[in-house]
Amino acid sequence: MATILFLNGSLRRDSLNGRLSRVAARELPEGYHAEFFDVGTLPFYNADLEGETVPDVAQRFRDAVRSADGVFVTTPEYNYALPGVVKNAVDWASRPMLPRNSIVGTPMNVAVATVSATNGIRSLTDLKRIWANCGGVTVNSFDFVLQNAPGKFIEQGGVETLEPVSLTTLRFALENLERLIEHKAGQVIEANWDAYTASLP
């Protein structure tokens, strides 16, 4: 059984991205299991909290990222950028760097739900860049931004889902992540990371 860790970058109770996250989790194929972590429970990253122990919630978050086979982030775009709550979560996961931070080799894909008809892509590309720079693996050539999101959710048999075109695109985003996992795309990045860290004085 493979685990996908779902993270939502909005703390709002009725978050569109939270709804998208729950739709996505229901779309996982057989053999995949969804876990959720509320990144809003993490304190602001502060290196002074990095002693022999770190805050329990930060340790649990690092463990959740490390043990997940893949991560699927849903997030808004705030002021043409990635919301601080997601960046803060990445900062926690990115330390300690040695021997490997918890992101190294971990495949991630991201979807953005926005009320806007034109925006959202910057938040997505921010996260892909940052994740890759921390040693993670991302889906390169396919981006899923759910624009005009409030009108894209429908109910089917008492369960919320997306209208057909958006649902097909969401499934494709998940399949791209699953392929990274199944092809063990993280292994080469782990090897590069280990070579780099071994070269450090």
Give the interface with ligand FMN as residue ranges (CB under 6 A): 10, 12, 15-17, 76-80, 113-116, 119-120
Give the three-state DSSP class for 63.
helix
Q: Tally Cβ neighbours within 10 Å of residue 164.
A: 9
Q: Sign of torsion, CA 83 26 6 111?
A: negative
**What's the first-to-final CA gap in the chain, in angstroms?**
39
Q: Cα–Cα distance between 19 and 74 in angstroms, integer?
A: 9
The answer to whether 125 and 143 have CB atoms below 8 angstroms apart is: yes
Nearer to ligand FMN, 119 or 197 (CB): 119
CB 78 to ligand FMN: min, Å: 4
Q: Which ranges in 69-111 belong to alpha helices (H)?
A: 84-93
Q: Judged by CB, which is closer to ligand FMN: 146, or 174?
A: 146
In the complex, least distance from residue 201 CB atom to ligand FMN, rounded to whole angstroms = 42
| Residue 7 beta carbon to ligand FMN: minimum distance, rounded to whole angstroms | 12
Nearer to ligand FMN, 113 or 181 (CB): 113
C-beta of 80 vs 172, nearer to ligand FMN: 80
Cβ distance to ligand FMN smaller for residue 17 or 94: 17
Element (H, E) at 154: strand 153-156
CB of 77 to ligand FMN, least distance (A): 4
HSE on the CB side for 63, CA within 13 Å?
A: 7
Beta carbon of residue 181, minimum distance to ligand FMN (angstroms, whole number): 26
Tokens for 186? Answer: 């993280």
Residues near 201 by Cβ (< 8 Å), separated by ≥ 6? none
Name the amino acid, one letter, at 115: V
Minimum distance, C-beta of residue 154 to ligand FMN, in the bound complex (Å): 17
Of residues 147 and 197, the one with the C-beta less far from ligand FMN: 147
